Structure 1
């Protein structure tokens, strides 16, 4: 019997061939999605021109057509030819709904009617693959998984394209160009950035105090600090002065406690963690990290599949680890590394339970690297070598010994009988001494403050204060998101949801977007001029803020991460058989219609280039019929909704010295800039905010309400 095995990508096909040979028949790879959905204009010619129609096809579904992307037509042609003689098919794509859709939609398009089985696996080592193929089930058992894929793909097409057209034709200012892109994932991501920006703009800094005390005893000295937690901060200057006076006069015992501790290594990288790390270390964009990670995987075969969505490895891989480490020893930088500990379970690195239902495990060096690591790594350019080193060291740290250290904490209780709330103030400091570096000798690029040395004082020593000082500090606004921070916020978007059930569902769904799509979402927001980069931070443009304000006014659901959780819950209903794909698609169509009706009532107009807010002219036609004064034509293809008609010239910036690190930024209304200047504030032209030196008298600015 002639059998065709369909894999999702070439690397997967290579692994299946290496594990199974021709046991199950001919093995052919896709290249991700070889098919795309029809465009609205291909379904109805009148939809080539943008309007406020709800883009639900007359028969309810967009059809699949071959994707003309690079390299895809020949792969589809080979599968089509093989199906002519195939007596059976095994779908061996990724185990999620997208993988199911990639394989099964091809069989539907090519009208294959023979028997189909489904091999499910979350790792691609030989043992796992052999077990998966021997346990392959009839594909009919996964029909609800395919229907969930259909619902997700069709609903996103209807929702995203409909609302992008509506927002663009209704909200875009007359005589301007550009696209106001709306997406089920994209727009809540914009909402995360805009919500943070509003928190920053509304923030009012307040003063608080910490007290620092130098003490000396018979065996040494130490610097201790009284710095209560945020909720107990000292905000009353008179209380701070009482504690300061008591500290200056302090003589008494000091407590010194030393504990032996150990710390396990961090988890191997998944794609979001790798993106965050590269952004933090080197300022790389998410897109750059994704591209270089793909090169390491696809061009050099140095690493495993980069679009990983878990920071665990399958337990079936454990037998391969000694060989993998020995091969990495070929590279001089890793020649002394060895396998010291295999950590399993949820707190370890190898855990099958944590990989249940997940298609791709953590990114590590590829044990099957052809030509060996040393020879292949020598071909890398500087950026490729840096990223490979990051991945390799994180993996090697994972099988190295624990970091062992002594943690010492010094505590002095200073009597403060004059305080109205308590009779003492606790001053503390701590330090650490490494006993065994373990994995820290390998994994050097870690986000940790340098550990202070342990002071030489002994437990119970009598000490006296030699100096005490008062440190006046000011609360700081929330920080803007870097690309690394936004990737983390998208992954942890469940934290923005109040409803417990929705929080849990979005947490299970791994947040907004997927490791494979988040980079494109961020780049799309930049390209459509809703977000720009400022000092490595992602900042909403005035247009982006205005779009967010409009949506919050007319239909907050557009920017609500909870909408994704609700969508995932409905896709779960399809898997459970309590809802159909058509029901979910119809619900999304009705929601798009309701949102469209709400958007058309808005009188706000957005100029994406100048970011100005305008009002519709008195007596103008309503947005439901489309203002005729809007001459700009949307992009030719509805799917190319991210490309504005012409690029705008970047604004010229003034070159000035940046504010000093210890400065204090002010919240000065635009109309009061001259008053701020007269009081001695300076304008940072880069951010458009006024600031004063940290040593300057703040009271005049407090009285104005600018702090």
Structure 2
């Protein structure tokens, strides 16, 4: 018996429809026709890594760590156990299993881990399905491979899962428990990808807050030849410019301007260069998310969810792709795809043209997101916009490049140099379809070396430096996908890190950005690290505090980017899974040591009250389940009463602490219970005061 295991039910249904043309039976958890071939499915991850307390009951308490499993355990997810049981029963009878997980690291992992969990020993093959239409299915079935060819990809998936678990479970506990000593009640959520992503936004915000705008000046010359006006800018001597190649002293340009009056103007140099701009490649998920955020302000999650919907309806290829290229064998599909596209201007495309997008050497586990041969119908507004973006980018692959001629020139004026440029469009190419501006830029007169220009007018322009821009959801996602740009320039692996295609995966980056903005409480101890102001992402006070108080190595993009690079090496068979995990464990131990020795700044918020005893800590509200009562105390662990040497506790009054001082000696009063009821006592001078409505009657 042959059993297909798809990653999700919709893929299972697509496979069944392809095999039996709708002539099959749906059973509980699988499809079949005659019993020789079965198509079943998972629901994404239907197995999970065991929780700490499943290894040992003592790990129910967060103070108990580190947790380093000697043997990793996986458990059934509660809400999918029924389907897992169906798969396990089918595997007992299967002679051949076809892994039909999504064609990526996670897809490989979630089916292979089921086979490992079941202890399956039979033949396993791999079906790599990039889209659900019949053409794509036929191509995938013609290329079924031995699943052993993807064993290293499975190992990389395990490496990612184990690293995330080790970092998240251990360091979230270590930092949160250590911070509680200083009055923090919130959880320090430490994630391998989440923290460096947050750090990008926090560091950018600090740059903006510390930025001081400065004035600088430019000298612009306006000239005319053959009745055509044109402009050029002074290229000042190196002795006049600062580190940013700018002139900050206006007087320098004023002196130069005086020298230029009535001076001879000569064309010193002319350079012409042909510029060829090729059509942009088809979308990967991250480039689609970035563009859709820029154009429509769609969040990365909205884009992924929408492309997933289009994929499930068979309108586009696999959505979670990190690739911008298309297999060369799919070039022949173009006419069929064009026939079902309802996009104005497509008739101007030339289907005989073959752009750089068709390149087998650039294909990863996926190919670019492109339309299928199934006509898209009944789309809502968001789906329509995303589908049109995908379709138009595909159509562009059948247009010529845009060709322009750029002319740069140099003028000599009284021993000073002015430079300028102009550009004319020779062939609009794909830009004509895009509807983008294709007009000439700075049209120049005919210039030749040695030409004399009659006259020049000169103007000093005052400008100001501007701060860097805040991240949007789109630009933050782009930064994650191109993390090498943020890696220390001295890092010897910086160029290599281009190969890993960023931190996180196309399927998880949107979730990470959404979780950092999380305002829907998953528990009262969760605080958002980012907030969205209009379209910009701004770190919260807690987000800044988090980055400032954890080991800097966690915040550097280098750390996680290099982990991703090592995972890619595992996938290529160049590194062992165990060596990778051992390195992660060492990093975890180093961070636990840092967290336990860290002196956190005492917690404070906008309403916090400085402790009147130590004048360092903040008075924080606590709850005692033992006495079912709220109370307040100083979050400074070293703060004690100067009289008794013991910790002082303050009574709660509608969420606020009652801080009352003895009129006689100015010492703090404490509430006591006597035989006649509650009263207030000064522990220094022993004077007592009656209680009135929960407060001392002074």
Fold match, TM over 0.5?
A: yes
Instruction: Provide the residue aligned with 1:312 in structure 2.
Output: 325
Contact 1:217 1:462 in 2 (8 A): no
SS for the counterpart of 2:93 is: coil
Instruction: Provide the residue aligned with 1:303 in structure 2.
Output: 316
- Unaligned regions of 5+ residues in structure 2, if any? 21-32, 519-526, 626-698
Q: How does 1:136-535 map to 2 (within 5 A)?
A: 136-137=145-146, 139-140=147-148, 142-172=150-180, 177-226=185-234, 231-254=244-267, 260-298=274-312, 300-328=313-341, 331=342, 333-343=344-354, 348-355=356-363, 358-367=364-373, 369=374, 372-373=375-376, 376=377, 379-415=378-414, 423-432=415-424, 434-444=425-435, 452-459=441-448, 462-495=452-485, 496-498=487-489, 500-527=491-518, 528-535=527-534
Shift of the alpha carbon at 1:511? 1.3
- 1:114 to 2:128 alignment: no
Q: Tell me: CA distance 1:97–1:202, structure 2 relative to 1, closer, same or farther (3 Å).
A: same
- 1:56 to 2:47 alignment: no
- 1:129 to 2:162 alignment: no
Which has the larger Rg?
2
Q: Which moved more, 1:455-464 or 1:144-153?
A: 455-464
- Unaligned regions of 5+ residues in structure 1, if any? 416-422, 622-626, 634-707
2-structure distance, mates of 1:31, 1:244: 73
Q: Tell me: CA distance 1:586–1:224, structure 2 relative to 1, closer, same or farther (3 Å).
A: closer
Normalized per residue, which structure has more strand?
2
Write out per-residue CA displacement over residues 229-252 of structure 1, whole angstroms, 9 at most, x where no aligned residue: 974323343332233234443443
SS for the counterpart of 2:593 is: helix
Q: Tell me: CA distance 1:62–1:155, structure 2 relative to 1, closer, same or farther (3 Å).
A: farther
Shift of the alpha carbon at 1:519? 0.7
Contact 1:172 1:607 in 2 (8 A): no
Shift of the alpha carbon at 1:195? 2.2
TM-score scaled by length of structure 2: 0.75
Write out per-residue CA displacement over residues 366-420 of structure 1, whole angstroms, 9 at most, x where no aligned residue: 22x2xx24xx1xx2222222222221111111221222334344542222xxxxx
- 1:41 to 2:90 alignment: no
1-structure distance, mates of 2:621, 2:339: 70
- 1:79 to 2:87 alignment: yes
Q: Tell me: CA distance 1:603–1:206, structure 2 relative to 1, closer, same or farther (3 Å).
A: same
Q: Tell me: CA distance 1:173–1:199, structure 2 relative to 1, closer, same or farther (3 Å).
A: farther
Q: Which of the pair has the greater relative contact order for Cα pairs under 8 Å at 6+ separation? A: 1
Write out per-residue CA displacement over residues 559-593 of structure 1, whole angstroms, 9 at most, x where no aligned residue: 12222244345546655778654554344334323
1-structure distance, mates of 2:609, 2:484: 32
2-structure distance, mates of 1:63, 1:484: 35
Q: Give the number of equivalent residue pairs.
A: 592
2-structure distance, mates of 1:629, 1:53: 27
Shift of the alpha carbon at 1:544? 1.6
Q: Tell me: CA distance 1:442–1:158, structure 2 relative to 1, closer, same or farther (3 Å).
A: same
2-structure distance, mates of 1:380, 1:220: 51
Shift of the alpha carbon at 1:142? 4.4
1-structure distance, mates of 2:416, 2:38: 78
2-structure distance, mates of 1:148, 1:619: 52
Q: Tell me: CA distance 1:150–1:466, structure 2 relative to 1, closer, same or farther (3 Å).
A: closer
TM-score scaled by length of structure 1: 0.74
2-structure distance, mates of 1:199, 1:459: 46
Contact 1:30 1:75 in 2 (8 A): yes
Q: Tell me: CA distance 1:406–1:219, structure 2 relative to 1, closer, same or farther (3 Å).
A: same
Contact 2:153 2:572 in 1 (8 A): no
Contact 2:473 2:536 in 1 (8 A): yes
Match of 1:588 among 584, 590, 608: 584
1-structure distance, mates of 2:39, 2:276: 48
Instruction: Provide the residue aligned with 2:594 in structure 1.
Output: 598
Contact 1:218 1:463 in 2 (8 A): no
What is the aligned-residue RMSD (CA, Å)? Answer: 3.7
SS for the counterpart of 2:43 is: coil
SS for the counterpart of 1:339 is: coil
SS for the counterpart of 1:503 is: coil
Shift of the alpha carbon at 1:107? 1.4
Q: Which moved more, 1:594-603 or 1:246-255?
A: 246-255
